[in-house]
Amino acid sequence: MFTTWKLGTVGVVLATGIFSAQAPNRLASEGEWFVECAVDRISNRRDCEVAVEVKSVNPAYHLGFIYRVGSGMFLAVGLPAPSRIVARVDQGEAYELAMCTGQACLLRGRVAGQLRESMHQGEVLRLEFRGPDRVGGVAEVSLSGFNKMHIEALDRLNR
């Protein structure tokens, strides 16, 4: 299972890639969604992620919302570090990413699968962000492109 150290490492690595000054080596993109694939240094397994990046000036935050295809898990990484993320597709059920460690919040298991299925069928992903010192915000992201990028990521994992 994930230890605090592993989650912290994953969060730092993901945040570095998403928030670096250079554009990441994105394999594919559609709408606001993109695919990146890498080999995990710890497990030596390849995994791909479908992600979207959200920036806000007022209040100031930078959020990456990531679906790790191989592990079937959602991660939300942010600056400032998130303490809680709630994802909702259209007007449906709220999914709370409350397992937060360092710069990342996590959702996995059956509930992550339900959110992914809702995203395949939905039109808008609403992300409610809460960080330290009550910094927070709401972002809406079009799900146009998510399905295509998920298929692309699955294809890259099966190559």
| Residues 83-111 pLDDT 10s | 889 999 999 999 999 788 877 999 999 99
Q: Can you give the pLDDT at residue 6?
A: 41
How many Å apart are CA 92 and CA 131, to the nearest integer? 23
| Average pLDDT over every residue of 5-29 | 49
Q: What's the pTM?
A: 0.80
Domains and CATH numbers, the chain: 4-157 (2.60.40.1880)
Q: Band the pLDDT of 72: cuts 50, 70, 90.
A: very high
Q: Can you give the pLDDT at residue 56?
A: 79
**Number of other CB atoms surrounding residue 28 within 10 Å:** 19
Give Cβ neighbours of residue 109 (< 8 Å, ≥ 6 apart): 72
DSSP assignment letter at 81: P
